[in-house]
Amino acid sequence: MIPTWLNLLAWLSLLLGLLSAIAILIDLQKRPQHMAIMHWVWPLCALFGHLLLLAFYLCYGRAPPPSHHEHHEHHEHHEHQQPAPSWVQVATGSLHCGSGCTLGDIVAETAVLFFPAIATAFGWKTLFAEPIFAVWILDFIFAFAIGIVFQYFAIKPMAPGLSVGAALSQALKADALSLCAWQLGMYGFMALAHFYLFPQLLGTALKTGSAPFWLMMQLAMLCGLLTAFPVNRWLIQKGIKEAM
């Protein structure tokens, strides 16, 4: 049986994630991002990063107000001409990648929760004894597809002359490795939670759809950020991915 304290902690963490996402959505209405896709990135990442992500957004991701007095405009322009710290650029690029992974994983996990036959179609009971491995295949498909779409909408507005095919090709080059690194970190933590933390330490199964399951998913996404960070730094240093 899941301990009461863990259930309470899970619900609190999920609530903080939701409230942080709402707070960012409200702020985005007042201070729209230069890059439209970031209107998806920040709230989605707030779902797992909640207060930590909200603080990062307020410090480094928030856009200036849309209208200012002239001297304020000059002051803000001067401020925004300063290069962002490299770790901020890498973290923002990693979060951009992770937002697609987050949405893909939420969609896939929810779909299997309501339609368990999907896991069977992806190999549960035939290829895998555990449904988690079949669900991971679906997770990866959704996360990869949505992540590449998100990257496409980061590239295309900056280069409107690019064809759809060329922009998609650049999106694949920029984010494929990062997406794989993120999912690797996420899968690693979920495997630890599923096969060790809950059955061995807590003496119970980690049930999909429960509040503790989504708490573990929040922590898994943070692990994904950690594993994607060095990959994004390398991609940016090599000029394969644009700094954000």
Helices (H), the chain: 4-30, 38-56, 70-81, 86-114, 117-121, 131-155, 164-192, 211-237
pLDDT digits (tens, 9 = 90+) for 47-78: 999 999 999 999 999 998 876 544 444 333 33
pLDDT band at 154 (very low <50, low <70, confident <90, very high): confident
**Contact in structure between 143 and 178 (CB atoms under 8 Å):** no
The whole-model pTM stands at 0.88
The DSSP bridge partners found for residue 128 are 124
Instruction: For residue 116, give the 3-state DSSP assignment.
Output: coil
pLDDT band at 163 (very low <50, low <70, confident <90, very high): confident
pLDDT band at 160 (very low <50, low <70, confident <90, very high): confident
